[in-house]
Amino acid sequence: MATKRFLDSDEALAEGLAELGRLDPVMSRLVAEGARPVLRKREPGFHGLAWIVMGQQLSVASADAIWRRLIDRFGPLTPSVIEAATVEALKACGLSAPKIRTLRAIAEAITRGALPLDELGAMPAEIAHAALTAVKGIGPWTADIYLMFCLGHSDAFAAGDLALQEAARLAYGIAARPSASELVALAEQWRPWRAVAAKVLWAHYRIAKGRPGVSESAKPPKASAPSPGR
């Protein structure tokens, strides 16, 4: 079972970057060229997971507006708050029906003990990932982003992220954007610091494309193009 490491300080991130540089000269080159990420984390627990679910496939402005309406109306989001809220009230804040179903499924799973959200940080990334994706509506990308940005798992890795795939293509001179499985294979050399490698690749993408990367706020890319979120 893999050793658990956490990106909970600038020192931990620096350690990960140094180890990556020793493991892979390409990573060392990218960091030297300016792709040096900063430590960014979101609040763990239901509140942080709800933000990730809510913000998927939305523009920054839309996501922020919906989030403000949710907080203004319901206060801090908890499983009990979501379970008690009516569908009409949640829709009035701007949430779509699929997002409402996912948030309610998460709330129910937490309430009945099927998703021990407070215990995920003590689990290896793969086990925590499996616990999250067992909840209907939580896909691999959502689980990976939660592990990376809310829990700070150093070895979580969102291989299905299109921006990461495109960044890897650019960084390694690959003819075609690698698939998720191909990116997983490439990422084996970065264990147990795959999350740090992802942050470096997002930073490289931002430089290459002149656009802000996913690592700025853990927002997903659109499914139709390899463009990162916020």
Provide the mean pLDDT of the chain.
88
Mean pLDDT of 109-129: 92
Confidence of residue 112 (pLDDT cuts 50, 70, 90): very high
Mean pLDDT of 86-97: 96
Mean pLDDT of 174-180: 96
Say yes or no to pLDDT of 229 above 60: no
**What would be the CATH architecture of the domain defined by 45-151?**
Orthogonal Bundle (1.10)
Q: Is the distance from CB of 155 to CB of 194 less than 8 angstroms?
A: yes
Task: List every span in the chain annotated with CATH 1.10.1670.40.
Answer: 10-40+154-209
Task: List every span in the chain annotated with CATH 1.10.340.30.
Answer: 45-151
Mean pLDDT of 119-142: 92
Say yes or no to pLDDT of 40 above 90: no
Residue type, 37: P
Q: Is the distance from CB of 156 to CB of 194 less than 8 angstroms?
A: yes
Q: Does domain 10-40+154-209 sit in CATH 1.10.3230.20?
A: no
Q: Which two tokens stand for residue 217?
A: 């706020």
Of all residues in the chain, the percent with pLDDT exceeding 90 is 77
What separation, in Å, do the N-terminal and C-terminal C-alpha atoms of the chain show?
34
